[in-house]
Structure 1
């Protein structure tokens, strides 16, 4: 008997052909319960990165088993102890140990899936996979995992309860449900990926060819009650408050697997984690993520496929700053949501009411979604409505989106409309089309087109980079599997784009070539060569008129070391032309030290210096700066004890901008305005130290300390940079804007 069969015999994993209800299984990673004997077995795994599709019987073996409670996945990875790496990571953090990915399509029809990933070391990731094959890690699910180590292999055991997700079952002739199961091993040493199917999520036929299994899913109802209590003490008063306390609850009721009713009173809409330092002087808003449970559940139902991050629902708008600008976070009085996922039709709706405050500056948010799906295509409508009484403003948006996918083609489209009723009524529209064709698993061609007219406005609840915009892009990807002694794969990417506004003005557009080399030792080299063609810059900010921006050439080299060992690093060098006549150099260095399997310390440095940084300092006034930007981030995370996690972040930035020239934007072009000095400094600091004790899904105890500051000052050019960078960080620490401690408890009943 081979070693691999001996291992499975020792684990009690005998080959089975049908999936049936199982006895209770203890999640310990060992896979030694007799119930595993009736599981469905996957013994052939294909190399999908690089996509050689070589079949392997000696890399991974997996089992899938169902019970009345949920689905179990057992995975045995044949990596000897000297050829594998054990490392813990925080929830949804970057994985630097060997890990398995599991994709579960509970509906079995490609209408969406859930991703569950777990490392050798106990790190976890989970995400929603949309029908467009994009992943959103904001979702956090109720599931369990454990790993086990042997000298010749390591194993993962994963359990996902049926009631942790919403789905509509697809039944076969026998009345059993059909679900899709994709299982992968990421081999850290080689950067290779092995899968039980020949497709990755980057292939258009990923869902179509996902292995299917038959399961018997009991009809169950579920009621979850999640109360929370929080207390904050501000050592530096925040909006004249030295302390704040809050209490509320979320109620989730699932009469069946495909329906969920969510109701919340004073819901837990405050995020524990701080946002990163954001040094953004452009006219494009920074897109933030959202981890609040009310919005992350059933996320894929409300997803539409519009390009350039265009969204009708950007949940960070809800509970954000009040319309009277007196509060940064607006309390939520109540929220309700209902989702139904049928065999063909899906629909859902939610409503959120903010506290009106004394001034009536709260907002009300409403959204509704309906979609219909057949074998390879899907089409639906999403509508949103926002009332803002303080501004006497009402905002509506509507999207009709469609999707088609087969083993070659991938097509997504969205027709967008908006209407703003304020003193007058303004109606806008847009169109998004994305067409991809897969010649082979290693060769793809993709075309994109986005048009948003000047009156399109979805920002009351949604997000867009800009309106008055026409964007087109053609992208060609081709990978060559080399497979010699030192080089595994070369991946070529060629991008050609064109941009204009609704008046036909040609905007600066990027054309680029990228080559990625994957080496046998697990390291990677990436080379970029981009050119930004000359065009009219009409989105510099401050409602300024357009001006002609010259062409620019950009080059970048990136090296990523192997992830094995206690230390890994990545470094990049970028040389650019920028602004009107300037040049810039950009350096980045990421270092990760893992002194223990449960500890992770990351050190990131970003530096950019150039003499062509353009900023609109007021309407129709353009400043070009000699700019130095430095951002330093130090992160530490650790598993201190079972279920007790520590994380700490210290991030500080220094921006020094010395005036090179000030220009008035006129119809005839740029006119230099002599004698003006708009020089300034911008320094910021953010720190957070968090203890989290996990009692279970949606059951945690948090203790968090935050401290940070920011300082922006207009200075004469000769005074910029006189203070050392460490002194500026010290000043923001000793004179903070935020200095708070937070205690929070939530528990799932």
Structure 2
């Protein structure tokens, strides 16, 4: 179903004059809303019965020279709706409206926004491959208002919020894609203005369109910042001052320059205990890197990326700095009718040892109707290692009413010279191939397949991310949902996954086969049951890349239940029973609880506990140890509003891993040989805490007061300390103790 709403240029001009008086207060009482384009028919898209309704929600849209206005009337009575505030991009436990805007109107990319009954917001980038990145933060306004029989949302998004190429017709009117939704919390149902969700291959093709008069406009933005950090352990204070300067000659072009840029993240990363040889992938909320993601994005399977921006500003190559200062950075974007160009360059501080790095990225992409292809190239200079790393990707995407196809050819070229401190000479070139095909039979049935091949010389970790190289992965996924109009179950979704993995030279690796049944209950609760089977295969990574051994097949089962989100208290619990390791068995318990004493405040208390005797870690080259392990994670988060613009949040996370040696094996001639008299037992305990005050001055304008405290302890004295007593010791012997004051302001 394709919809194009025609609006005359005269009406648009008249609206732009009046719209200057619009106040974003949620009430929708200005005269412009009476003349707005109205969306009356909404379809139930979750569960995907596609039944049409006019008594759940009504959408309103109009445009001005300044931007696009969106209004919602949600017909939920008092007592039947849930009101709750969430921090920006946090979990939304309230009724909310979600809307997707394709500013170019051609499917080259879109932006997703959400606004709750309660004032919480989320925003994200939606790529042409329909992947979602929530790290992006945009400049937009929203407000809600409550009436006895319904509640409303009022939103304004300036054209200058994003970079895009207006898709103008002969009358100089631009076509803008707009998709509107209501998420009904009490039932876990979603009602949309189109019959597709963002997970469907034809989502872009069927987005309803509005016509807008978008004037040519240039814009300057200046974002200075100052950060003062007091380190109580080192007893020193560090002050940073920098700025971002952004120039947009028009909507489709942008140049950003940063001097001593604001690359610091106020929020702490979540604690991760990872003893595998696969690196944990972390996200990046730094503003410089979250802009224009859709243009620079290249999708490859298994989270393989040529650009993983957390590499930039990370630890220095000489090991002296955990965070390397950045001197300057620049980025440009040009989005033409068919061609798009983008790139950025970053120069880290050289430091005294010349251990800083330089990063360069260039991107070109051509788009025609439902197909696009592009080239991404990167170069990383690491003088301290005498290393130069280049990568490239040639990618293509195609989408139709039923088909979605993505592919990428990958290439890497690494050159490294020999230096005095031990690096070896390297001159290697590697290759890779990624492909994904999805067929949508109907809104409830889909079949997808993906393939990834990385040869043993492919290397992209200087700027990118990969789980491993020397790898071939083939996966198939089948989803089939059955919807019910009566009874206590609204939907049952069956998911079947099968895969095959090997090294690039054909050595068979363990692979996952899985079945999951997911349920949406009529009272809004959710439940699922899954069964996973890992085939036997060679494990060539556990022995630190030196040895390999034949692992046994394993079976895993999991049960999950999530209570309805309505009310003052909600909870979710899961139980998992796994065969693991060489011959071990594990049990896993998780409970997540949320208490909402007020619509502006929430307290989350999450507990995770795993016990078993099959944790396998490579402890030396050609040696693995199987541990009898207890692993506990406790997470507490309290957050809310003190005043309309003042947020307070508190986070505390505590992680304990007690690993007692069960058995030790040497790997010899691809066989496990049990050893005696070796004890590799250890205890790993960590905690992190943060108290943050944020005063919101406006878009990209904030005052932060943040206190962080944390510690990590590693020893081999397993079981000799009480956990709570040890936590008190960690609190006193902290290795992180700092206070941060930060101000940034958008001019």
Instruction: Tell me, yes or no, whether TM beats 0.5.
Output: yes
User: Are 1:372 and 2:366 matched, yes or no?
Assistant: yes
Q: Deviations over 1:169-199 (max 9, x none)?
A: 1112322100100100000000000000000
Aligned to 2:709: 707
Q: Which of residues 17, 20, 24 is equivalent to 2:12? A: 20
Q: Which of residues 727, 730, 742 is equivalent to 1:729? A: 727
Aligned to 2:742: 744
Q: Which of residues 178, 194, 204 is equivalent to 2:175? A: 178
CA RMSD of aligned residues (A): 1.0
User: Are 1:150 and 2:147 matched, yes or no?
Assistant: yes
Aligned to 1:296: 290
Distance 1:370 1:447 in 2: 27
Distance 2:85 2:716 in 1: 45
Contact conserved, 1:16 with 1:38, CA < 8 A, in 2? no
Contact conserved, 2:450 with 2:474, CA < 8 A, in 1? yes
Q: Deviations over 1:582-616 (max 9, x none)?
A: 10000000000000000010000010001011000
Aligned to 1:393: 387
Counterpart mapping for 1:486-565 below 5 A:
486-565=488-567
Counterpart mapping for 1:264-413 below 5 A:
264-413=258-407
SS of residue in 2 equivalent to 1:546: strand
Aligned to 1:79: 76
Contact conserved, 2:228 with 2:240, CA < 8 A, in 1? yes
Aligned to 1:115: 112
SS of residue in 2 equivalent to 1:97: coil
Distance 2:562 2:12 in 1: 45
Contact conserved, 2:7 with 2:210, CA < 8 A, in 1? no
Distance 1:541 1:586 in 2: 25
Q: Deviations over 1:32-56 (max 9, x none)?
A: 0012233111111000000111111
Distance 1:627 1:346 in 2: 52
Distance 1:254 1:192 in 2: 40
Q: Deviations over 1:594-641 (max 9, x none)?
A: 000000100000100010110001111100000100000000101110
SS of residue in 2 equivalent to 1:289: coil
SS of residue in 1 equivalent to 2:79: helix
Aligned to 1:138: 135
SS of residue in 2 equivalent to 1:255: strand
Distance 1:729 1:275 in 2: 20
Bigger mean CA offset, 393-402 vs 37-46: 37-46
SS of residue in 2 equivalent to 1:170: coil
- How far is 1:541 from its partner? 4.9
Aligned to 2:685: 683
User: Are 1:246 and 2:237 matched, yes or no?
Assistant: no
Q: Which of residues 221, 237, 244 is equivalent to 1:224? A: 221
- How far is 1:424 from its partner? 2.8
Aligned to 2:94: 97
Contact conserved, 2:97 with 2:181, CA < 8 A, in 1? yes
Aligned to 1:623: 625
Contact conserved, 1:103 with 1:116, CA < 8 A, in 2? yes
SS of residue in 1 equivalent to 2:598: coil
SS of residue in 2 equivalent to 1:736: coil
Distance 1:435 1:306 in 2: 12
- How far is 1:727 from its partner? 1.4
- How far is 1:102 from its partner? 0.9
Distance 2:607 2:150 in 1: 37
Distance 2:6 2:150 in 1: 22
Distance 2:383 2:362 in 1: 21
Contact conserved, 1:360 with 1:390, CA < 8 A, in 2? yes
SS of residue in 1 equivalent to 2:727: helix
Contact conserved, 1:16 with 1:40, CA < 8 A, in 2? no
Q: Deviations over 1:520-560 (max 9, x none)?
A: 00001100001000000112152231111100000000001
User: Are 1:442 and 2:440 matched, yes or no?
Assistant: no
Contact conserved, 1:17 with 1:38, CA < 8 A, in 2? no
Aligned to 1:12: none
Aligned to 1:8: none
Distance 1:263 1:138 in 2: 20
Distance 1:226 1:16 in 2: 38
- How far is 1:722 from its partner? 2.4
- How far is 1:731 from its partner? 1.5
Distance 1:204 1:513 in 2: 23
Distance 1:177 1:670 in 2: 67
SS of residue in 1 equivalent to 2:160: helix
Unpaired runs of 5+ residues, structure 1, are 1-14
Distance 2:443 2:59 in 1: 24
Aligned to 1:643: 645
Contact conserved, 1:283 with 1:541, CA < 8 A, in 2? no
Contact conserved, 1:630 with 1:655, CA < 8 A, in 2? yes
Distance 1:732 1:470 in 2: 43
Q: Deviations over 1:462-499 (max 9, x none)?
A: 01111111001010000000222211000000000000
- How far is 1:642 from its partner? 1.1
Distance 2:670 2:491 in 1: 51
Unpaired runs of 5+ residues, structure 2, are 417-424
Distance 1:359 1:184 in 2: 55
Distance 2:458 2:630 in 1: 36
Contact conserved, 1:561 with 1:569, CA < 8 A, in 2? yes
Contact conserved, 2:7 with 2:211, CA < 8 A, in 1? no
Distance 1:542 1:51 in 2: 47
Distance 1:173 1:492 in 2: 48
Distance 2:485 2:575 in 1: 28
- How far is 1:16 from its partner? 9.5
- How far is 1:203 from its partner? 0.6
Distance 2:598 2:28 in 1: 26
Distance 1:597 1:105 in 2: 32
User: Are 1:202 and 2:204 matched, yes or no?
Assistant: no
Aligned to 2:51: 54
Aligned to 2:64: 67
